[in-house]
A = this chain, B = another copy of it.
Amino acid sequence: MTAELHDIANARLRTTGQRYTTRRRALVEVLDQADGPLTIPQILELDRSLAQSSAYRNLAVLEQADVVHRIVTNDDFARYELAEDLTEHHHHLICRTCGSVADFTLDPSVEGDLDRVLADVADAQSFRADHHRLDLVGTCADCR
Contacts and interface: CB of A to CB of B under 8 A. Distances in A.
Interface of A: 70, 72-74, 93, 95-96, 102, 104, 106-107, 110, 113-114, 117-118, 121-122, 125-141, 144
Contacts of A135: 132-134
17 contacts: A70-B74, A93-B122, A93-B125, A93-B127, A95-B127, A96-B130, A104-B125, A107-B117, A110-B117, A118-B136, A122-B138, A127-B136, A127-B139, A130-B138, A133-B133, A133-B137, A134-B134
B104 A121 contact: yes
B136 A129 contact: yes
In this complex, the member of A72, A125, A128 whose beta carbon has the largest number of chain B beta carbons within 10 angstroms is A128
Nearest to A132: B136
Given A70-B74, A72-B74, A93-B127, A136 B117 contact: no
Contact of A132 (B73, B134, B144): B134
Copies of this subunit:
2
B130 A137 contact: yes
Contacts of A102: 125
Contacts of A128: 138-139, 144
Nearest to A139: B128
Across the A-B interface, give the 5 residue pairs with the lowest CB-CB distance, nearest first.
Answer: A126-B141, A130-B138, A129-B138, A128-B139, A133-B135
